[in-house]
Structures are given as structure tokens and as C-alpha cells.
Structure 1
Amino acid sequence: MTTEQLHASPDSLPQQHSSYDPHPPHDRHGSPHGGDHLLFLAEALRTFHDTGALAPSGPALVNALVVPATSRPNRPISVLEVGAGTGVVTRRLAQVLRPGDRLHVVEANPRFADRLREDPVLAARRPGVGLRLSTCRVEELPEAAAGPEDGGGNERYDVIVSGLPFTNFEPALVRDILDLYLRLLTPGGELTYFGYLGTTTARTLTSGPRRGARHRAVVRLLRRFEATYGLGERTVWRNLPPARAHLLRAPGPYA
């Protein structure tokens, strides 16, 4: 995985199969169901704290987030997606993964999880690509425990793609989730997540000083995490709203 690949345009992302269309028909219209944007908006208005946006990520941001799954070793890999929403990233992952790969999708919102279970793109994934869906928060997974003595599993992931709205959370929770991601990654495994541009100013102006201070504390925590583990970032101006995708790597050599 190189920083150049993170900054690559959507049409120049590595393609593992000659049949891979970086803009498949379902994605060109945003959803194989035609109602994902309406569902996303309804859930955002109902539970904005957990959804964190008013629309699914656009194609350019999706491409930036799935880069680690397209630049990979020549062996099966295990991918964890956290906060899948209506599945725009999930569908892209299902298209680029190879037989023998495993995709574990974690989505706490039961309405989004039901939509993912019905998704025809996921159902039509390549034979041999394993898919598991957990309707819970990532910290509730059995493998999230510190170790086998605490009831945790041995599952580890080569790639984690996080869609969680970190700046909506308390700093302590964000720290716990980031630490969990590091525990769940294999040595040298890679993590991507994103944040929207301009949110610090907007939160301060619209939410008052207390929420503004919490927001700034989360941003400082993320910047420290990125300074320690970051490989690069990509600003996606064509997303609504514009966003910045971050690529990070867990310590250790990648097998």
C-alpha cells in the first residue's frame, strides 16, 4: 500500500479482476434499491448521533476507503467494515474481494442491517468470498475482548474500514474504539476512516461551547493517532459534504 494509491483517482485504482467495474450500474445510481438515500436520510434525522451524515458516501470517497483491499498480498485477506450504513462501501468491497477472502460487516442500526441482508450486490458476490453480518456495536463483538481469557476470539483483520462518525462521540469512546482497531488488526494491517471538512467550526457555531470543546478534543485525539500510525490522507472535494480519508497502519511487519 502506498500513499500514491490513496491519492489515486477513482478510475486509476488498482483492479484485481479484469471484470471489475469501478462504477458498476448499481453504484452509478447510488443504490441497487433506489431507496438508500431516503433510508439514510430518515435514519440520520432519527438518530444523527450514530449516523453522522445526511447521505451515504459518494463514489470518490468510497474508492479512497477501500484502497487497502485493492493493494494487498497474494493470499486471502480478512476485512472488517464498521458502520456500513446502507452499504455503499460494503458493495464496493464485495466487488474487489477475491475467492477465499472474508468480509465481516458490523452495523448497529437494525434498519440498515436489514437493508444489507437484502442487498442483491452482496448476494451476487464472487463464489468463495465469505460474508458475515453482525448487528451490534464494534465494541460488543466477542473478539473485542482483550484476550481469550476474557472471552475474546482470535479473529484478526488485514483491513478495517470504519464509517463511524467519531466527532459525534465522547473522546473516551473514540480512544477505546481506536485502541480496539489496533488490537483487531494483524501486524502491519491497515485502517481507513474519514471525517468531513469544516465540522469543528460548524459544531462550535451551532452546538455551543460544551459540544464544541468535546468536538475539538476528539479531533486532537484523532490527529495524535494519525501522527503515530498514519500513512497518508486524501481530500475528497467531490463528496457531499467534502471529506478527508485517512490511511493508517498497525505496528509490525505485514505477512
Structure 2
Amino acid sequence: MTNGQLHRRPDSPAPQPGSRDTLGSPAGGDHLLFLAEALRTFHDTGALAPSGTELVNALVVPATSRPNRPISVLEVGAGTGVVTRRLAQVLRPGDRLHVVEANPRFAERLREDPVLAARRPGVELRLSVCRVEELPKTGEGTPIQEATTEGPGATPRPERRYDVIVSGLPFTNFGPARVRDILDLYLRLLAPDGELTYFGYLGTTTARTLTSGPRRGARHRAVVRLLRRFEATYGLGERTVWRNLPPARAYLLRSPTPAPAPAAPNR
């Protein structure tokens, strides 16, 4: 992942002078909601503030460096929608964006978001209110501006493949077994040569060891080792974003290309 890849695509809309930042909501509403939910459910939220602009740009690289055809994007753990809004800006007619958010308060914010409502015509945007592990059972969600959503009791549908997955899940808040299941699911959901981005905050291993005791510290280190092995196998690059709060590192990975089928023997 290079700095050059993070430049705005020439045909993507730029914020107008004097307008509010399209990654945020008016009057700091995103930050207030995010903080409230972080204090209420920090294990699933994993941060005290939404991702900053530089981190958002690093996470959406695969959607801006893309083939010249419609693509399908899955965003997991959308929160208040800072990444979702950026994806909605860069996607083109014919593209599909499927958003998965388990927190119903965040999901409601997404359904009411004016930036998402004003996306380009022809960009399909759907929402599933569930954990990503439940996604194969819940189908592809409902249009994001509709009042209804699909949950764990919905009719199962075949798994869909995605060209891009952007994950905002706080992996180091989870146990190793759950992280392994999610990473395996991402590989299953990605199309061949599909790309995945996610991020982690810097310094969390030391902080977790000092503040949570040896047992949680050991669990945290086990998750970090699992992620490093995953990145060593599938990684394309990483970018450190010092200006985020807290500083973070974004990772870019690619799913493997299937091996060609063996040639039929000559008869």
C-alpha cells in the first residue's frame, strides 16, 4: 500500500469549499454517538472515536484502485459510517455495497445518513444488522434507506463473493478462535484475487498487558500472532497513520488465486 494509491480518483467527487467534511456528520453527532456506544459496549466497538480521514482513505484503497467493471464491496463493522460514506463517494454506477453492522443504534444512523442517500445513481447499498459470522444465514440485507433490516432469523441465501472487504472490527478485543473464524469467513467471501483491508491501533499489546492482567494480555498476544501469520501469508502491504487518534496501521491483503485445474490426460 503506497501513498500514491491513496490519492483521490480523478472522477470521484470532492467536498465543496465551505461544506462540512463528508466523512463526518453535522455538529459532531458521529463522535457523540460513537463515544456513547463505546462506553456502553467497548468490547464490540473497540475505540472511543471514529476513524480519521487518513485512515479511512487507507482502508478504501481497493475500491479506488479497481478493475474497469462493476465491483461488489462488503463493509463489516461500519460504526457511524465514516468509511461507508467514503465508499459511497468513490463507487460507480453498477457497483454494490453491502454493509454489516451489529449495533442497532449505529445501523439506525446509517439508514438516516444524507450522504449515503445522495450517492450516485446506480450504486446499490444494502444493510444487514447482524454479526458477520451470521451473514451466511441472513442473506444480503435490505436497501439501507428502508426501515426494515434483516437479522439472524432471516431466510438463508447462498454466500455471495465480494471483490473488496473493508473490516472495522476490533480484532484484539476478541478471542483467537473468533478471530480465526472471521478471517476464514473473509477468505471464503472474497472473490479470487479479491482484496481485504483492516486496521489495528499501535501500542495495544503493551497497554493491554499493563491494564488487563496476564490472562487477557496472553489472549491479546495470541490474536496478534494470528493476525501476523495471516498477513505474512496474504499481505500486500501496510500503512501507518500517525495522525489518527490513536495512531493506527492499515493492512492490505489479497485472497489467493485458485490453482488451475489439472489438464485432462491425452488418450
The question of a shared fold, defined as TM-score above 0.5 by the shorter chain, is answered with yes
Gaps of 5+ in 2: 140-155, 259-267
User: How do 1:142-181 residues align onto structure 2 when only pairs under 5 Å count?
Assistant: 142=136, 152-181=157-186
On the 8 A contact 1:196/1:242 being kept in 2, the answer is yes
Alpha-carbon shift at residue 31 of structure 1 (Å): 1.9
Change in 2 beyond 3 A, CA 1:245/1:144: farther
C-alpha change, 1:100 and 1:170, in structure 2 (3 Å) is same
The alignment's TM-score, normalised by the length of structure 2, stands at 0.86
Structure 1 residues 75 and 23: CA distance shift in structure 2, 3 A = farther
Rate the CA distance shift 1:218–1:116 in 2: closer, same or farther, 3 A. same
Deviation at 1:183, TM superposition (A): 0.3
Secondary structure of 1:240's aligned partner = coil
1 CA distance for matches of 2:183 and 2:48? 24
> Bigger relative contact order, structure 1 or 2, given CA contacts below 8 A and separation 6+?
1
TM-score, normalised by the number of residues in structure 1 = 0.90
Q: 2:201: which partner in 1?
A: 196
Match status 1:91 vs 2:96 = no
Count the aligned residue pairs.
Answer: 242
Supply the AA of the counterpart residue of 2:115: V
Structure 2 partner of 1:211: 216
1:74 to 63, 68, 78: 68
Q: Quick one: which of 101, 104, 110 aligns to 2:95?
A: 101
- Matched with 1:64 is 58
Q: Does 1:251 pair with 2:245?
A: no
Could you tell me whether the CA contact under 8 Å between 1:158 and 1:189 is conserved in 2?
Answer: yes
Q: Which position in structure 1 is the counterpart of 2:129?
A: 135
Quote how far apart the aligned CAs of 1:171 are.
0.3
Give 1:154 shift: 3.8
Structure 1 residue 19: Cα displacement: 3.3
Deviations 1:44-101, CA, capped at 9 Å, x for gaps: 0000000000000000000000000000000000000000000000000000000000
Distance change >3 Å, CA 95–CA 169, structure 1 → 2: same
Residue 34 of structure 1 aligns to a residue in which SS? Answer: helix
Letter in 2 for 1:192: T
Aligned-residue Cα RMSD (Å) equals: 2.1
Q: Which structure has the bigger radius of gyration?
A: 2
2:28 match: secondary structure: coil
Whether the 8 Å contact between 1:32 and 1:121 is mirrored in structure 2 is no
- State the identity as a percent: 83
Equivalent residue number for residue 148 of structure 1: none
Say if 1:16 and 1:106 are closer, same or farther in 2 by CA, change over 3 A.
Answer: farther
